[in-house]
Amino acid sequence: MKLGIIGLPNSGKTTIFNALTRSTLPTGAATSGQFEVHTAVVSVPDARVDRLKAMYNPKKTTYTQMVYVDIGGLEKGIGEGGLKGQFRNELAGLDGFIHVVRVFKNDNVPHAYETVDPARDVAALDSEFLLTDLVTVETRLERLEADMRRKGRTAEKVVTDEIEMMNRLKAHLEEEKPLRDLGLTAEEIKPLKGYGFLTLKPVLIVLNTDETNPNPTIPYEHADSKVVSLQGAIEAELSQLEADDAAVFMEEYGIKELSAARVIGESYELMQIQSFYTVGEDEVRAWTVRRGAPAPEAAGAIHSDLQKGFIRAEIMHYEDLINGGSEAALKAAGKFYLQGKEYIVQDGDIMHVRFNV
């Protein structure tokens, strides 16, 4: 999964990127119109992997990963008429957004709108994305309607169906509502993915604050979204320290846990994905699959051959294994299950696939 870190200049996007990824990119707003992209891959903290590692003592341990992209160049008014070009293409190719919003006050770092107002800043960027999606919908409608005029009654039903959907999207956007609030089904969303609609993607609002206001919040009642806070500057410093030094620093500032790890976890949850595991002496590994996926789809996440030749899945539930203490104990207790193609994988399942190719 690939999430873009976005926000107005001087909101602390790169600081948050450094905190999440342990990077050391120089901070500071990009010059007007400058387009920059920085990418980092982060292992998702998972206590279940740690516990399974202790149980199996494998040669290798692998966590699931998230890709974070720091995107520079988004400024006030950049989306007038809709975002365009390379910038629009980069945003469209992401799975979701982490929108960094400034809450900290610093007279030495000017704000794009002069004053600190997180609710206003969120609305400003939302408006840019709404307009961009509306332009995309209107452009597509023009082409579809021209096609209808040419073909008349001979136009394929797929064209009329798409016109109906585009008009539905247009009406919703004109009400200044993001597409993720429209309640589209998975089947309805599938043909829309090629358009890269920005307001259809999930959003994690990260309020970038400091020790003077450690737990700010703002109302943001939209589907597939959440608001969290993070002391970006402090956590970016902590990310560069060794564990013992970080513990001393955290105690000094009264920080009980790193919010950066929580943000990584929240962004993982935001994507509507879940973890399942494979275990053994060679490797303990976490895998990801969408929620509601059947067993063959999860098998395909491991290897395409496992999905093609899927026969059965041997399933243990993580909590059962931890409580039972061993695979042998689960088998004795009747909690080692054989599941077929219709089985819906659950978060925390431990899977071994039987297959034949």
CATH code at position 312: 3.10.20.30
Lowest mean per-residue pLDDT among 27-41, 207-221, 227-241, 252-266: 27-41
Under a CB-based contact definition with an 8 Å cutoff, are residues 111 and 10 in contact? yes
Query: Which pLDDT belongs to residue 143?
Result: 92
Lowest mean per-residue pLDDT among 20-34, 91-105, 297-311, 330-344: 20-34
Lowest mean per-residue pLDDT among 55-59, 134-138, 185-189, 255-259: 255-259
Asked, for residue 22, whether it belongs to a domain, the answer is no
Asked, for residue 287, whether it belongs to a domain, the answer is no
Strands 2-6 and 65-72: parallel
Query: Which pLDDT belongs to residue 73?
Result: 65
268-313 tens-digit pLDDT = 888 889 999 999 999 999 999 999 999 999 999 999 999 999 999 9
* Rounded average pLDDT over 35-42: 88
- Does 121 have pLDDT greater than 50? yes
- Does 81 have pLDDT greater than 60? no
Number of domains in the chain: 1
Lowest mean per-residue pLDDT among 149-163, 172-186, 261-275, 323-337: 149-163
Asked, for residue 310, whether it belongs to a domain, the answer is yes
Residue ranges making up the domain that contains 321: 292-355
- Does 185 have pLDDT greater than 80? yes
53 φψ region: left (φ > 0), alpha (ψ -120 to 50), beta (else)? alpha
Query: Which pLDDT belongs to residue 120?
Result: 94
Task: Please tell me the number of Cα atoms within 13 Å of 355 on its side-chain side.
Answer: 19
Lowest mean per-residue pLDDT among 108-117, 258-267, 286-295: 258-267
- Does 233 have pLDDT greater than 50? yes
Query: Which pLDDT belongs to residue 26?
Result: 83
DSSP annotation of 341:
T
Query: Which pLDDT belongs to residue 194?
Result: 92
Asked, for residue 333, whether it belongs to a domain, the answer is yes
* Rounded average pLDDT over 216-232: 93
* Rounded average pLDDT over 209-225: 92
Under a CB-based contact definition with an 8 Å cutoff, are residues 92 and 27 in contact? no
Cα–Cα dist 242/244, whole Å: 6
- Does 30 have pLDDT greater than 60? no
Q: Is 178 helix (H, G, I), strand (E, B) or coil?
A: coil
- Does 171 have pLDDT greater than 90? yes
* Environment class of 269 (CB within 10 Å of its CB; exposed 0-12, middle 13-18, buried 19+): middle
Asked, for residue 343, whether it belongs to a domain, the answer is yes
Asked, for residue 217, whether it belongs to a domain, the answer is no
Asked, for residue 302, whether it belongs to a domain, the answer is yes
Asked, for residue 250, whether it belongs to a domain, the answer is no
Cα–Cα dist 95/275, whole Å: 17
Q: Which of 57-61, 183-187, 236-240 has the highest mean pLDDT?
A: 57-61
Q: Which residues contact 334 (CB under 8 A, 6 or more apart)?
A: none
Residue 197: which of 210, 208, 184 has the closest Cα?
184
- Does 350 have pLDDT greater than 50? yes
Cα–Cα dist 287/187, whole Å: 24
Spell 213-240 as b/e; 16+ CB within 10 A means b. Answer: ebeeebebeeebbbbbbbbbbbbbbbbe
Count each helix (H run) and each strand (E run) in the chain, helices first.
Answer: 13, 12
Cα–Cα dist 24/214, whole Å: 23
Query: Which pLDDT belongs to residue 286?
Result: 97
- Going by pLDDT thresholds of 50, 70 and 90, the confidence category of residue 82 is low
Cα–Cα dist 284/58, whole Å: 6
- Does 249 have pLDDT greater than 90? no
Query: Which pLDDT belongs to residue 31?
Result: 43
